[in-house]
Amino acid sequence: MARVLVTEKIAQPGLDELAAAGHEVDVQLGLSPEELLGAIVGAHALIIRSATTVTAEVLEAGTDLVVVGRAGIGLDNVDVARATELGVMVVNAPQSNIISAAEQAVALLLAQARNVPQAHVALVNGKWERSKWEGVELYGKTMGVIGLGRVGALFAQRALAFGMRLVAYDPFVSEDRARHMSVELMSLEDVMGCSDFISIHLPKNAETVGLIDAAMMAKAKPGIRIINTARGGIVVEADLADAIKAGHVQGAGLDVFEKEPTTESPLFGLDSVVVAPHLGASTAEAQDKAGATIAEQVQLALAGDFVPFAVNVAAGEVSEVVRPFMGLAEQLGRFLGGLVDGQASNLEITYNGEIAGSGTKILTLSVLKGLFGATSDDAVSYVNAPALAAERGLEIEESSSVTSHEYVNLITVSAGGHSVSGTLAGIGTRVEPRVVSVDDHSVEVPPSAHMLVVRNDDRPGMIGVVGQHLGAAGISISSMAVGPSHGGPTALMVLATDQDVPTAVADALAANDGIFDLHRINL
């Protein structure tokens, strides 16, 4: 099947799942950057955690690479931009460790507030220092949450249980959602200015690196305590150490650092700082979930299916209304690719019915994936389909209407003077795709691996001509639909055959009087 290179330890059930699916699981732990460049050659998938750096050079060396899977959340060790350019899908397991990460933030919050690690070290070293390690209660204090994503929201719930007042900074969260969480939204400066504690739950990117620096800490309420379990570098460690020494910041609890792994920091010698070596996801439960999730995502990617947690696929979340139409959309794209002669400059996609109001980005990607798969020798995926469209100057026009006159849902794709429409037909679990129109001729035929579209003179005997040629070549017709033209004396036959029609047979058939053109379609 496919070779899956695993460079860091993940839960064994995830590896077993990949092996059970028939993939070769190649575990090579502790590779140096140079060794990784050699090991990646011939691999179709790469599974990592946080220690492996997937550079542009690594991605370029992995010429067979389909997917990079990060068994965790953060992707700052993967060159996602270059992966996208190369058509390599990047996936993660964003929900695998959110509970563990939120609980780690709570653990550091409590440990910092009550000086638990410091008191422990003193006691085991023979010192009973009750007065030295006096702490503070959380009840009644103001907790500032910086980032109300999955982890931030879970942390806020837990902080609320301590009887804390919650304020937060997150420009992407609505007032209504914050109010529902019992959180008051503020600017970052205002959060810093009124909070007794802050807990950081932001991704690391160009906008957040160095966000909590000396200038921002100068705006903080005197005595503030800072918890960071998100990513190192969001808090400037040297500035934080200076602020603690000056007495403006009371203390900190840190699980992440600007450089990891590390055993040196200006914060390590300060009594009011509690630190841990990036343990946010280090629970048995989180590791099991991350391994299982990433195995599932990698399998989907290798199969060419849509991957829910792909970070470089511009589709957003896929609704249950839209999901069943993804295969149909890709088939319509491939069908259209077989009809169009040459390279089209414009692609029109129309969605009618319930799907029109359910988020169709993934359906458009599916159409592109099918279209380019039929007309290009390049490997086409949900990742690189938009880039291929841009490279070829293909303009894409989408239109939607919740009104559909003949069908509950209908997808129509048009390019190069041709069009094809399809829907799903059936009841319950017996729902199947149907091609219902080709070049404005009404037909109804299920998509098949091998199809033939014949435009002919609308006169008796033409169906027999086609059947005779195919029969003489030993080709069976699985299904067939005939659609007359609404505007002239032509008809269209759409046939599904048990095998691809050879070029010689297609040429002989096309040479018959009354047959105007013929297209072989391979889905």
Q: pLDDT value at position 512?
A: 92
**Contact between 350 and 400 (Cβ < 8 Å):** yes
Return the higher-pLDDT residue of 387 and 13: 13
User: Please, where are the H alpha helices in 358-495?
Assistant: 361-375, 385-391, 462-472
280 assigned to some structural domain: no
Q: What is the mean pLDDT of residues 10-39?
A: 94
Question: Do 238 and 139 reside in the same domain of the chain?
Answer: yes
Which of 278, 418, 441, 455 is an active site residue? 278
The CA distance from 491 to 441, in Å, is 8
Which of 49, 225, 231, 334 is an active site residue? 231
385 assigned to some structural domain: yes
Q: pLDDT value at position 29?
A: 96
Question: Do 137 and 112 reside in the same domain of the chain?
Answer: yes
Question: Do 249 and 117 reside in the same domain of the chain?
Answer: yes
Alpha-carbon dihedral angle through residues 29, 32, 33, 38, given to the nearest 10 degrees: -70
Question: Do 190 and 229 reside in the same domain of the chain?
Answer: yes
**Contact between 313 and 382 (Cβ < 8 Å):** yes
309 assigned to some structural domain: no
Domain final residue, candidates 434, 452, 480: 434
The CA distance from 314 to 113, in Å, is 43
The enclosing domain of 390 has a CATH number of 3.30.1330.90
pLDDT tens by residue, 498-508 = 999 999 999 99
The enclosing domain of 462 has a CATH number of 3.30.70.260
pLDDT tens by residue, 50-93 = 889 999 999 999 999 999 999 988 788 999 989 988 889 999 99
Task: Count CA within 13 A, CB hemisphere, residue 425.
Answer: 13
Question: Do 118 and 243 reside in the same domain of the chain?
Answer: yes
Q: pLDDT value at position 429?
A: 64
Q: pLDDT value at position 231?
A: 93
Place of tokens 């009973």: 128
Residue 382 has pLDDT above 90, yes or no: no
Question: Do 133 and 209 reside in the same domain of the chain?
Answer: yes
**134 part of the active site:** no
The CA distance from 442 to 444, in Å, is 7
Question: Do 353 and 407 reside in the same domain of the chain?
Answer: yes
Whether residue 447 is preceded by a cis peptide bond, meaning omega within 30 degrees of 0, is no
Which of 57, 258, 260, 444 is an active site residue? 260
Here the tokens at position 328 are 């149909």
pLDDT confidence of 140, banded at 50, 70, 90?
A: very high
66 assigned to some structural domain: yes
426 assigned to some structural domain: yes
Question: Do 109 and 248 reside in the same domain of the chain?
Answer: yes
The CA distance from 283 to 133, in Å, is 29
Q: What is the mean pLDDT of residues 135-157?
A: 96
Closest of 248, 251, 259 to residue 216, by C-alpha: 248
Cα 295 to chain center, whole Å?
A: 14
pLDDT confidence of 315, banded at 50, 70, 90?
A: low
Structurally, how many domains does the chain consist of? 4
The enclosing domain of 74 has a CATH number of 3.40.50.720
pLDDT confidence of 426, banded at 50, 70, 90?
A: confident
Question: Do 459 and 414 reside in the same domain of the chain?
Answer: no
449 assigned to some structural domain: yes
Q: pLDDT value at position 306?
A: 76
**278 part of the active site:** yes
308 assigned to some structural domain: no
Which residue range(s) make up the domain with 81? 3-95+285-302
Residue 107 has pLDDT above 80, yes or no: yes
Q: What are phi and psi of 515, to 5 degrees?
A: -105, 120
Return the higher-pLDDT residue of 362 and 161: 161
Q: pLDDT value at position 475?
A: 94
339 assigned to some structural domain: yes
Q: pLDDT value at position 279?
A: 95
Domain final residue, candidates 275, 293, 325: 275
Q: pLDDT value at position 228?
A: 98
Question: Do 421 and 446 reside in the same domain of the chain?
Answer: no
Which of 168-177, 269-278, 353-362, 453-462 has the lowest average pLDDT?
353-362
Question: Do 422 and 490 reside in the same domain of the chain?
Answer: no
Q: pLDDT value at position 490?
A: 83
pTM of the model: 0.65
pLDDT confidence of 314, banded at 50, 70, 90?
A: low
Residue 317 has pLDDT above 90, yes or no: no
- DSSP 8-state assignment for residue 501: P
Q: pLDDT value at position 484?
A: 78
Task: For residue 464, give Cα distances in angstroms to 459, 461, 500.
Answer: 11, 5, 19
Question: Do 163 and 125 reside in the same domain of the chain?
Answer: yes
Place of tokens 């006096």: 134
Residue 20 has pLDDT above 80, yes or no: yes
Residue 435 has pLDDT above 80, yes or no: yes
Angle at 230 between CA 228 and CA 235, to 5 degrees: 50
Percent of the chain predicted with pLDDT > 70: 98
Residue 384 has pLDDT above 90, yes or no: no
